């Protein structure tokens, strides 16, 4: 099986990502994020989306927010974005901006790609440095019960645009590491293996690291809802601000 070393974590999955996510309405998601943040934001905010992937959320949010920068560590994911916004390839723990943003966001477990608490702390510190005084930082994160649920649908397969794929989902409750192993067959018959490794943190970790980084939690919702998030939720949506 050929496997060219690449630093792009979504080199191959970028080809099938839109298909993997077609169960979700990004239009609805964008409205949800707008509704939980709008009362906390200034007019015409400067927006930075981190780990934006193929920009599906940005394609909707840029209809509301005109000053919007889309970023991701994967150049191939960014290439699959057909929006007109500014796109920059960067790591969310090495954010290359000096200007301040009024809204900084990431979605769909992107923060779980940071494999240590130290990296999450570094990420929070960097976000804090470029968050305007009254700015809002919001992201969602998968918690442990989400990983157990995925074990039930541990194997799935599909095809899209001539690509075939098989996905295996494996969660290790001891290390709290969740792996998604993709085997992707290109239209020309070549097969590639791509493993996505994510760390599942405890609910309390985010409060602890926010505190250490100079941020604080304004709200934490059960994701996609307006009810309070809990340690037992599948996924939670944090809203943080800078401490004074």
Ligand X SMILES: C[S@@+](CC[C@H](N)C(=O)[O-])C[C@H]1O[C@@H](n2cnc3c(N)ncnc32)[C@H](O)[C@@H]1O
Residue from 37, 48, 53, 165 in contact with ligand X (CB under 6 A): 53
For ligand X, the binding residues in 112-131 under the rule CB under 6 A are 113
DSSP code at position 103: E
- Residue among 89 and 166 whose Cβ is closer to ligand X: 89
Reduced to 3 states (helix: H, G, I; strand: E, B; else coil), residue 117 is helix
Is residue 96 classed exposed, middle or buried when 0-12, 13-18 and 19+ CB atoms within 10 A define those classes? exposed
- Residue among 4 and 174 whose Cβ is closer to ligand X: 4
- Residue among 52 and 131 whose Cβ is closer to ligand X: 52
Q: Where is 68: in which H helix or E strand?
A: strand 68-72
- Residue among 102 and 140 whose Cβ is closer to ligand X: 140
Residue from 56, 81, 122, 138 in contact with ligand X (CB under 6 A): 56
- Residue among 109 and 194 whose Cβ is closer to ligand X: 109
Strand order from edge to edge, sheet including 191-199: 155-160, 163-172, 177-185, 191-199
Measured from the CB of residue 231, what is the shortest distance to ligand X in angstroms?
A: 22
Sign of the Cα torsion 4, 5, 8, 12 reads positive
What does the angle CA 127 – CA 223 – CA 209 come to, to the nearest 5 degrees? 35
Contact of 105 with 137, CB cutoff 8 Å: yes
Give residue number: closest CB to ligand X: 53
Q: How many residues bind ligand X (CB under 6 A)?
A: 21
Residue from 16, 47, 57, 136 in contact with ligand X (CB under 6 A): 57
Can residue 68 be called a binding residue for ligand X (CB under 6 A)? no
Query: Among candidates 29, 104, 92, which has minimal Cα distance to 60?
Result: 29
Measured from the CB of residue 74, what is the shortest distance to ligand X in angstroms?
A: 3
Can residue 107 be called a binding residue for ligand X (CB under 6 A)? yes
Can residue 72 be called a binding residue for ligand X (CB under 6 A)? yes
Contact of 31 with 85, CB cutoff 8 Å: no
Binding site for ligand X (CB under 6 A): 9-10, 21, 50-53, 56-57, 72-74, 77, 91-93, 107-110, 113
């Amino acid at each position: 099986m050929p496997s060219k070393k690449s630093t792009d974590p979504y080199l191959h999955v970028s080809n099938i990502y839109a298909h993997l996510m077609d169960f979700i309405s990004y239009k609805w998601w964008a409205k949800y994020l707008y509704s939980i943040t709008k009362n906390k934001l200034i007019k015409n905010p400067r927006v930075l989306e981190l780990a934006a992937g193929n920009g599906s959320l940005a394609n909707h949010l840029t209809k509301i927010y005109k000053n919007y920068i889309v970023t991701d560590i994967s150049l191939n994911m960014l290439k699959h974005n057909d929006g007109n916004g500014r796109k920059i390839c960067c790591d969310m723990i090495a954010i290359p901006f000096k200007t301040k943003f009024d809204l900084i966001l990431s979605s769909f477990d992107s923060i779980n790609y940071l494999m240590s608490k130290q990296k999450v702390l570094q990420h929070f510190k960097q976000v804090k440095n470029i968050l305007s005084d009254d700015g809002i930082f919001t992201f969602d994160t998968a918690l442990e019960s989400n990983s157990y649920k995925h074990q039930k649908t541990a194997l799935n397969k599909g095809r899209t645009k001539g690509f075939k794929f098989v996905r295996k989902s494996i969660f290790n409750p001891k290390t709290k590491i969740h792996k998604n192993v993709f085997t992707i067959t290109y239209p020309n018959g070549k097969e590639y293996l791509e493993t996505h490794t994510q760390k599942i943190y405890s609910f309390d970790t985010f409060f602890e690291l926010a505190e250490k980084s100079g941020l604080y939690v304004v709200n934490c919702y059960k994701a996609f809802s307006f009810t309070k998030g809990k340690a037992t939720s599948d996924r939670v949506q944090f809203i943080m601000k800078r401490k004074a």
